[in-house]
A and B are shown apart, each in its own frame.
Chain A
């Protein structure tokens, strides 16, 4: 099986460019596809049923599976005895959630890759971490919710105990937050949370209370989890950032894009406001009707490739997110790799049909 450590420099996660990266991905995707086809019967059936070739000479010909599949069936390339952790996606009550099966090794590599990517932005030194949420999200131990998984994933960057903006009674804990800021004047704070929660629980709270908090220039914010709810409130990235800087000080703010099906190899917003694929991941945008690959600047459905998934066949997934590629290796931020924007969700997917009313 592929050893990512041998392929990629963890100290420079945005280093690979052009042919170098293409060759790495073509080779790795062939290897991973064969591996999962050998180890996972359902995946093997799927590839042959849908007419995918097991080996391919162009990256765009790599087989991909719909991300929604992880909600309907258990897909894994390890024996059940070796399951170390099961990740689940967040889902509203009643809807199915994705189940991702990890062995010990895959869990470890996810942490390592996340560390590599995030460290390239915030440096290797740890900071005190403030989570915009309440600590109750961690107490449900039976399954990992996406909110908890995000916190636990980012907790490797935390110096000491993680603090939360809200207490268990869901009230904003001004005293603790003020203390945290005081203690971290030198080093800055790492603020983490879901985009929507940061807007609701931090920005709006401070606006309503007519308050400002100065986290200082050395602080970083990482936020992810989608813009859907904020779009409904007509808040886009630019406004989001300026409101945070207005209320919390001039910190470095990074949106990240990732999903539970490919935990670890997240995409991070650069200084130019674009999401970047790292050495560990790649992005292809496809026509939403015929699934043919689209050139840069054309909007379509997003396919994500990751080198990480070994214990489950999630190395190439067709998401239900829509976006477009801006370019490759030539972003003004200086980082290599494909850079892109996510513009929203596929229209009406899952709304009609299957689970809804069907008569006549």
Chain B
């Protein structure tokens, strides 16, 4: 029934890569592409070339987040992953799952390539819908991909990158015809897609809104050298500001842990953080500044926020002493350099404050033993990652508890 809605000639898609209008039964053409085994030489070669081109691009210095992407797909890293991928394959064979329809987020420009390239490496064919709001970063990676794919029809059919309005019928068409739909979304995007069916055998993976925060040892900051605090501020800057604090693993709150003088530690930390903002010449857009003002106002109106300085100064640091991280604080926080600060005596005080949506806890100044204590208090089903500050944005194939190498393959059991 729904299939009939899509008269073959009606559905057309002007993709960015390849730069053509796809019409009619273009999905059949894509599906008929020569099958490749996961991590075949051919696939690895392409990813290598991409990584190399990206890392040697003259503008890469301006976009450290893209350099991280490039490093993530270096040959040595990919080969290592191949090795672990083929471990424990005695009882089954990992084969491509087929056609993967990716819906990329708008806030983190390059994420579509992390899951896209992993899916590509596994031999899947991919259609990636990116945000209509195309940033210079996205433009850069697209230009590199385009160059590399230009003279290879096979490649062009393995990774189609497109954008179209959200309300387009294309979302239904692609959902109905894919084998796996992967939505990196805000909750509203995910809910929209949940109402659009995939085939009965189709898989769905959704990455929803998350919240992340840091825990810092008050005593460790107090007794640290200036250089150590500078390094901490620098790492925290990378974690929080690379994507304008909009990534779901960017810390939005800091818990100062310990009984020492947290105010002094906090002051020392933010002083260095501001110095980093200055040296990195961090700038905000008008829209980001307004968004931060709106959210600060909203939260302040609920008596949940007292900014340390004038509301236009970045970062906006809100001392939340005596308050808990409430629903409003979480729901309306939309990045752009707004940080909540709390203080707790020990990790066990954190237990009641952690919620299902909490994804990454980044830490600084704790021993391995202390991190064990943190792990021990985590409520059931909460928190996906605990990483040192500086590693919040590191992409792993295990994301939000989902192993991409697992969900993007068809495991065929073979009993001989």
Q: Which residues of A contact B (CB under 8 A)?
A: 42-43, 45-46, 48-51, 65-66, 68-69, 72-73, 75, 288-292, 301, 318, 320, 322, 346-360
Does chain A have a CB within 8 A of B254? no
Are B301 and A288 in contact, with the CB atoms below 8 A? no
Contact status of A348 and B285, CB under 8 A, knowing A288-B290, A358-B186, A360-B249: yes
Are B107 and A359 in contact, with the CB atoms below 8 A? yes
In the bound complex, CA of A43 to CA of B111 (Å): 39
Q: Which residues of the partner chain A approach B103 to less than 8 Å between Cβ atoms?
A: 357
Offer 8 A-B interface pairs, CB within 8 angstroms, sorted by A: A50-B311, A291-B289, A346-B287, A347-B286, A350-B291, A354-B295, A358-B210, A360-B248
Q: Per-residue 0/1 for B387-400: is the Cβ within 8 Å of any A Cβ (1 yes, 0 no)? A: 00000010100010
Are A50 and B105 in contact, with the CB atoms below 8 A? no
CB of A317, distance to nearest CB on chain B (Å): 11
Closest B residue to A72 using CB positions: B298
Contact status of A357 and B300, CB under 8 A, knowing A49-B305, A349-B286, A352-B133: no
Closest A residue to B190 using CB positions: A357
Report, nearest first, the 6 A-B pairs whose CB atoms are least far apart: A49-B300, A353-B334, A359-B184, A357-B105, A288-B286, A348-B287
In the bound complex, CA of A292 to CA of B244 (Å): 22
Closest B residue to A65 using CB positions: B297
Contact status of A288 and B249, CB under 8 A, knowing A352-B106, A359-B185: no
Does chain A have a CB within 8 A of B246? yes
Are A360 and B307 in contact, with the CB atoms below 8 A? no
In the bound complex, CA of A349 to CA of B287 (Å): 4
**Which residues of B in the span 369-416 have a Cβ within 8 Å of any Cβ on A?**
393, 395, 399
Q: Which residues of the partner chain B approach A351 to less than 8 Å between Cβ atoms?
A: 133, 287
Q: Which residues of the partner chain A approach B335 to less than 8 Å between Cβ atoms?
A: 353
Closest B residue to A50 using CB positions: B311
Does chain A have a CB within 8 A of B303? yes
Contact status of A66 and B299, CB under 8 A, knowing A290-B312, A354-B332, A357-B186: no
Are A291 and B297 in contact, with the CB atoms below 8 A? no
Closest A residue to B104 using CB positions: A357
Q: Which of B189, B284, B299, B301 contacts A289 (CB 8 A)?
A: B284
Q: Which residues of the partner chain B approach A349 to less than 8 Å between Cβ atoms?
A: 286-287, 290-291
Are B248 and A359 in contact, with the CB atoms below 8 A? yes
Closest A residue to B302 using CB positions: A45
Contact status of A360 and B111, CB under 8 A, knowing A348-B285, A352-B287: yes
Are B310 and A360 in contact, with the CB atoms below 8 A? no
In the bound complex, CA of A318 to CA of B292 (Å): 13
Does chain A have a CB within 8 A of B294? yes
Contact status of A347 and B285, CB under 8 A, knowing A353-B335, A356-B106: yes
Q: Which residues of the partner chain A approach B305 to less than 8 Å between Cβ atoms?
A: 49
Closest A residue to B206 using CB positions: A359
In the bound complex, CA of A349 to CA of B107 (Å): 13
Q: Which residues of the partner chain B approach A347 to less than 8 Å between Cβ atoms?
A: 285-287
Q: Which of B188, B288, B310 contacts A352 (CB 8 A)?
A: B288
In the bound complex, CA of A48 to CA of B184 (Å): 38
Does chain A have a CB within 8 A of B306? yes
Q: Which of B286, B306, B309 contacts A48 (CB 8 A)?
A: B306
In the bound complex, CA of A48 to CA of B303 (Å): 9
Q: Which residues of the partner chain B approach A355 to less than 8 Å between Cβ atoms?
A: 186, 188
Does chain A have a CB within 8 A of B296? yes
Known: A49-B303, A354-B295, A358-B186. 9 other contacts (CB 8 A): A43-B301, A46-B297, A66-B297, A351-B133, A352-B334, A353-B107, A358-B248, A359-B186, A360-B108
CB of A323, distance to nearest CB on chain B (Å): 13
CB of A210, distance to nearest CB on chain B (Å): 35
Contact status of A358 and B246, CB under 8 A, knowing A51-B309, A66-B290, A301-B286: yes
Closest A residue to B245 using CB positions: A353
Are B291 and A360 in contact, with the CB atoms below 8 A? no
In the bound complex, CA of A322 to CA of B247 (Å): 28
In the bound complex, CA of A48 to CA of B248 (Å): 30
Are A68 and B189 in contact, with the CB atoms below 8 A? no
In the bound complex, CA of A260 to CA of B69 (Å): 46
In the bound complex, CA of A290 to CA of B309 (Å): 12
Are A291 and B309 in contact, with the CB atoms below 8 A? no
CB of B343, distance to nearest CB on chain A (Å): 18
Are A353 and B336 in contact, with the CB atoms below 8 A? yes
Are B105 and A360 in contact, with the CB atoms below 8 A? yes
CB of B405, distance to nearest CB on chain A (Å): 17
Contact status of A50 and B334, CB under 8 A, knowing A360-B105, A360-B393: no
Are A320 and B246 in contact, with the CB atoms below 8 A? no
Q: Per-residue 0/1 for B232-247: is the Cβ within 8 Å of any A Cβ (1 yes, 0 no)? A: 0000000000011011
Closest B residue to A346 using CB positions: B286
Are B186 and A49 in contact, with the CB atoms below 8 A? no
Q: Which residues of the partner chain A approach B209 to less than 8 Å between Cβ atoms?
A: 358
Residue with the greatest number of chain B CB neighbours at <10 A, chosen from A346, A350, A354, A358: A358
Q: Which residues of the partner chain B approach A73 to less than 8 Å between Cβ atoms?
A: 298, 301
Does chain A have a CB within 8 A of B269? no
Q: Which of B208, B249, B300 contacts A45 (CB 8 A)?
A: B300
Residue with the greatest number of chain A CB neighbours at <10 A, chosen from B108, B287, B393: B287
Does chain A have a CB within 8 A of B164? no
Does chain A have a CB within 8 A of B293? yes
**Which residues of B in the span 209-256 have a Cβ within 8 Å of any Cβ on A?**
209-210, 243-244, 246-249
Q: Which of B186, B243, B294 contacts A68 (CB 8 A)?
A: B294
Q: Which residues of the partner chain A approach B336 to less than 8 Å between Cβ atoms?
A: 353
CB of A216, distance to nearest CB on chain B (Å): 44
In the bound complex, CA of A165 to CA of B204 (Å): 51
Are B312 and A49 in contact, with the CB atoms below 8 A? no
Does chain A have a CB within 8 A of B71? no
**Which residues of B in the span 102-153 have a Cβ within 8 Å of any Cβ on A?**
103-108, 111, 114, 131, 133
CB of A287, distance to nearest CB on chain B (Å): 8
Q: Which residues of the partner chain A approach B46 to less than 8 Å between Cβ atoms?
A: none
Does chain A have a CB within 8 A of B207? yes
Q: Which residues of the partner chain A approach B111 to less than 8 Å between Cβ atoms?
A: 359-360
In the bound complex, CA of A52 to CA of B182 (Å): 45
Q: Which of A43, A48, A346, A357 contacts B131 (CB 8 A)?
A: A357
CB of A153, distance to nearest CB on chain B (Å): 27
CB of B250, distance to nearest CB on chain A (Å): 9
Are B307 and A51 in contact, with the CB atoms below 8 A? yes
Q: Which residues of the partner chain B approach A290 to less than 8 Å between Cβ atoms?
A: 289, 312-313
Residue with the greatest number of chain A CB neighbours at <10 A, chosen from B184, B290, B306, B336: B290
In the bound complex, CA of A355 to CA of B291 (Å): 11
